[in-house]
Structure 1
Amino acid sequence: MNPGDMRPGAAVRGPMWSGPICIHSVERAGPYVRIMGRATESGTAIDCILTQADVKQLEVAYEPNDMAGNPQRAFLAAEAMRYGFASADDPLSALHTSAVDLLPHQVEAVYNYALRWPRVRFMLAHEAGAGKTVMGGLIIKELKARRAVSGALVVAPPHLHEHWRRELGERLGESSRIADRDPQHHIRRAWNGPGVTIASAEFIEREDVMPYLESSPPDIIIVDEAHDLPLRPPPGDGRHSLTASLHGMSEHLLLLTPTPPPEGSPDLRLLLDMLEPGFLADPQMTQESTAAADNPMLLRRTAETLTDPSGSPLFGSRRVETVPVASSEIEALLYGAVSDYIRKRSGRAGPDATLHISRCMSSGVYAALRALEERMRSLEDALRDYIGTGQTKLVPAGEREDTEAEIKSLDRLITMARRVLDSDSERKVQALRQALRGLGGAQALVVTESADTLHYLEDRIRSWGYGVCTLHDKMEYGDRVRTEAAFRGGADVMVATDAVG
């Protein structure tokens, strides 16, 4: 060390002292240097004269802070440290660093229930529209602030992926990635590191994906639309692997559903067993704890109980009314003919095909027509292949005549369905038109199960002179946002599938 490097405020160490010395002043007298200071460990005052040889043996312990740094960066560094320790004094630190104003029921669910214990094992079962996505994201952010988690996985249907990513990014400031579109060499990386990974159950259960998740699970898993999880899958069902593994895969597990199974049902107990296996010993205990609102793993709030911060109801009053609709004569003939077809052909057509036709028939005549046409086309294609090869999957050897007879039956049913539509005699559609007239110009939301019925109703309602928009689970997220904006902007009717939830 050179004498010129010795400055007040610096600390030096050398063989003549037992520890570092903080220099207070330096005086030079010819070949000698006088140092006055204090030992940093013992506080002993130091006043000594050193030769040039002594000075060369000294080493710098630390340099003095000349306060010449960038003050803005210093402030940001101090703020970063303060935020790092915020959760120790502020139990709502994630809320205070997010661009979201929580409603009372959301604060209650996140901080009074889900985060009540160090280990999150909980099911939020609020009705649709309560903001469960924000609640789930806030739980992730709060656990990260408390240094309890690093990586997170959200299991959600594909049509909700962009919704999750937007809510996490814009409202909570959390980065996220959608793993379903990751190439093979990015799959392993998707589960590791900070941030949130969003994926569908079908993607996770792939044979080339599940091993990566099991070998390096995230700290927290959130399952959206948990009621769709197959709780009793048939043997060989690939989805069983996710359902069976969820309870032990990660430290924290959160289930979100707007439609939980009924109180005391076996399905509800199976869902709760995913959180804590065997915690509720029998169905009666599950039913009693849920009915008494003291189930430690489940919280449900209905729309009628939700309020804004001022205590006013969050949603308007709701009146449930079932309108009985009697089938017209021509409809009754069609329903009877389709029922006869299903009974006679269920063994040959298979349960999937007949169940699909039956569900479409309950949705509406147009959906039934499309299902019948689809079945007829598949049989006609199979029959052409049979004529060339002698056997297909749909037309086993020796059953050509039976297949031709089924095609004729389907042709008759299709003709009957078209006659109902052409005569405008479908009573449910007539009842819907009457109901819209009775609203006096108020907006209406029409929900149907079948996408075919959705498109049919869209055309019919528009022909009645109403402004219509549609919402279904095949829409891209941007189209969904534009549809919702159109409805808020004054469209008379929105026709939607259950994707509206």
Structure 2
Amino acid sequence: MILPPAVGSIVRARGREWVLLPSPQPDVLLLRPLAGGEAELCGIYLPLIQRGVEQVEPAAFPLPTPDGTADAVAAELLWNAARLTLRDGAGPFRSLGRISVRPRPYQFVPLLMALRMSPVRMLIADDVGVGKTIEALLIARELLARGEIRRIAVLCPPYLCDQWARELEEKFHLPAVVIRSGTVGPLERKTPPGESIFGHYPHIVVSIDYAKSDRHRANFLQHCPEFVIVDEAHGAAQPAGQRTAQQQRHQLLRDLAQDPRRHLLLLTATPHSGVEESFRSLLALLRPDFATLDLHGLNEQQTRELARHLVQRRRADVVRWLGTETPFPERESVEETYDLSPAYARLFEQVYAFSRELVRTGTTLTGWKRRIRYWSALALLRCVMSSPAAAQAALEKRIYGEEGLALDEEASDEAYAPYIYESSERETVDVAPAHIVEEGEREVGESDRRRLREFARLAASLRGTDDDRKIVRCAQIVAGLLGEGYAPIIWCRYIATSDYVAEELRRRLPVLLPGIGSQVRVISVTGALSEDERRERVAELTRFPLRVLVATDCLSEGINLQEHFTAVVHYD
């Protein structure tokens, strides 16, 4: 019996030299031409070699002699060829010749840690902007080049799917398909009969909310690739409360982690939300015994074991790394103030007094009725101080009363919070919470309902006037930024506020910037638009040299804005 040569050997077959690569099939030799690329890979059936049908023998190259020397130009050409060939195939990392990005030195740290693991189980919790995506895909590309994995899956929120697919394709030359509710139909038509959409394509980017559903979870788990990257992993931690969606995401990751051969990378810039149980649930995905760690009393051995699986660095930690400086942009933060006009102050004082009465009288109620008084008061104050448009949208129930979730006596505080607060753990909702105000209105008398309608009329009378000093000051700030050459983004909490701010800026900037104000392009992008429409509108805006983007949180993830916008105004 002829034993096959070792992986990495240089052999001669079919009249040329080849490098022997790891083969997914034990009876096939996988060869790559010494002077070729992956597109020229060749497989030779081992029994054919043993029967003498194919000839594979060790390759030998004669040593250089003085007679073979040439001029300096040829020597430099040979040196460059050898250097580039080594970078592609014989360096310490086999993947570097197959990527279109130059990693920074600190981004190799997770890769070095991963190469000492089998399987790879890591939580990469570097700060925003440090490069978690590059660090994770470096690991994936290296394991692919070494033949240790064949397929990759990225689990992420649906709004990040397209961005991950672009990163895989453009920077790491890994074409991937996006699997979510809007893309499944065309992909299924291209999938051969009897095959799973999760198993047919080599590299997949999957919406975690699509994969976690009862309808698709079993199919995904059965055909999931051996290497899985989970982005925004904090959204899949074991929740402290009764958050059904987050519990389903966590259960999906627990089922994936049960396969002892599966590689699992968790990415998040906010691994610890303050709830230790949730953080330990993420660590338990890396190693089950981490679930019982006392994080405040780790001994030296436990600290060492945890450090093998966890990477967390702030920007300040990597600004200077091994003599290399990373030019992170410096944030210049300024807090601007404005005074309420007498008319706006009267509106606020009246709404504030009404809200206090609403909460005070609600103390005699119980259960749902008491909670809805509290949430109605908060919703009113948030909307009134956002803009007259948001206040009007929340109070005019005949227009907005059907939006949002249906409230009932079983609803918990978890259902209301996204409409009122910003949270790092869940998405906020960028609509005025009219349904909450409407539900609260049902529990008050006719005189109080008349007061609410009067508030709506007062808010409408303030729209577009100089009594709204917040928008007046915002227009002045934006004009100053445009005059200094910046392209600003204005973040708003509610759709009504975003549209109102954009409308007012289009009216006010030509007055504040004589000569160039009429050339400023201002658009509002909100959750009222589809994801494709948002991208198209932002792409169109970037073609204007003088531009202002007004947006809600719908653009806070999944789209890169930093290349075209250089200043930020937080309106709310």
Fold conserved between structures, TM > 0.5 = yes
Aligned partners of 2:354 and 2:155: how far apart in 1?
Answer: 39
Secondary structure, in 3 states, of the residue corresponding to 1:191? helix
1:252 paired to 2:263:
yes
Matches within 5 A, 1:316-355: 316-323=329-336, 327-328=340-341, 329-333=345-349, 335-336=351-352, 339-340=355-356, 343=359, 347-348=368-369, 351=372, 354=376
Q: Structure 1 residue 178: deviation in Å?
A: 1.7
The aligned residue for residue 12 of structure 1 is none
Partner of residue 196, structure 1: 203
> Which of these residues, 401, 425, 433, is aligned with residue 467 of structure 2?
425
Q: Distance in 1 between matches of 2:475 and 2:300?
A: 44
Q: Unaligned regions of 5+ residues in structure 2, if any?
A: 4-12, 18-31, 44-85, 404-434, 510-519, 558-572
Sort the Cα spacing of 1:98 and 1:295 in 2 relative to 1 into closer, same or farther, 3 A: same
Give the secondary structure class of the aligned counterpart of 1:93: coil
Shift of 1:377: 4.6
User: In 2, Cα distance between the equivalents of 1:485 and 1:127?
Assistant: 31
Equivalent residue for 1:284? Answer: 296
Shift of 1:365: 4.1
1:441-500 superposed Cα distances (whole Å, 9 cap, x missing partner): 242333333343333222233333254355656553585377268459644433344433
The change in CA–CA distance for 1:441 and 1:223 in structure 2 (over 3 A counts) is same
Tell me the CA shift for residue 403 of structure 1.
Answer: 8.2
Partners of 1:122 and 1:253 within 8 A in 2: yes
1:441 and 2:484 correspond = yes
Where does residue 299 of structure 1 map in the other structure? 311
Residue in structure 2 matched with residue 460 of structure 1 by the alignment = 504
Match of 1:45 in 2: none
Read off the aligned partner of 1:447 and give its amino acid letter.
W
TM-score w.r.t. length of structure 1: 0.66
Aligned-pair identity in percent equals 24
Check if 1:118 corresponds to 2:104. Answer: no
Query: Cα distance, 1:348 vs. partner?
Result: 4.2
User: Could you tell me which residue of structure 1 aligns to residue 548 of structure 2?
Assistant: 493
* Residues 23-172 of structure 1 aligned to structure 2 (within 5 Å): 67=15, 76=36, 80=41, 90-108=91-109, 110-172=110-172
SS in 2 for 1:92: coil
Counterparts in 2 of 1:73 and 1:154: CA distance versus 1, 3 Å = closer
Residues 1:117 and 1:324: Cα distance change in structure 2 (over 3 Å): farther
How many angstroms does 1:172 deviate by?
1.3
Residue 219 of structure 1 deviates from its aligned partner by: 1.6
Residue deviations 1:212-252 (CA, integer Å, cap 9, x gap): 12334332332222333363265582441221341341422
SS at match of 1:155: strand
Q: CA-to-partner distance for each residue in 1:126-150, whole Å, 9 max, x for gaps?
A: 3434443333333322222233333
Match of 1:241 among 241, 248, 254: 248
Contact 1:201 1:239 survives alignment (8 Å): no
Cα distance change on mapping 1:68 and 1:239 into 2, 3 Å: closer
Structure 2 counterpart of 1:316, one-letter code:
P
**1:54 alignment partner in structure 2:** none
CA distance in 1, matches of 2:474, 2:158: 31
- 1:16 is matched with none
Cα contact 1:331–1:420 (8 A) shared by 2:
no
Could you say what secondary structure the match of 2:118 adopts? coil
> Where do residues 151-230 of structure 1 align in structure 2 (5 Å cutoff)?
151-180=151-180, 181-183=183-185, 189-193=196-200, 195-229=202-236
Tell me the SS of whatever aligns to 1:222.
Answer: strand
Give the secondary-structure state (helix, strand or coil) at the position aligned to 2:95: helix
| CA radius of gyration, larger in | 1
Structure 1 residues 159 and 451, CA, compared in 2 at 3 Å: closer, same or farther? farther
State how far apart, in whole Å, the 1-side matches of 2:329 and 2:340 are. Answer: 33
Q: Which residue of 2 aligns with 1:50?
A: none
The alignment's C-alpha RMSD in Å is 4.9
Range 85-94 or range 253-262, more displaced: 85-94
Q: Provide the C-alpha distance between the structure 1 equivalents of 2:401 and 2:97, rounded to a whole number of angstroms.
A: 58
Which 10-residue stretch deviates more, 139-148 or 305-314?
305-314
Structure 1 pair 151–358 and aligned structure 2 pair: CA distance change class (3 A): farther
Gap regions ≥5 residues in structure 1: 1-18, 20-39, 42-64, 381-392
- Within 2, Cα distance between the matches of 1:360 and 1:277? 45
Equivalent residues of 1:290, 1:298 under 8 A apart: no
- Change beyond 3 A, Cα 1:175–1:334: farther
TM-score of the two chains, using structure 2 as the length reference: 0.59
What one-letter code is carried by the residue in structure 1 that aligns with 2:538? T
Relative to 1, partners in 2 of residues 1:160 and 1:77: Cα closer, same or farther, differing over 3 Å? closer
Q: In the alignment, which residue of structure 2 is the partner of 1:3?
A: none
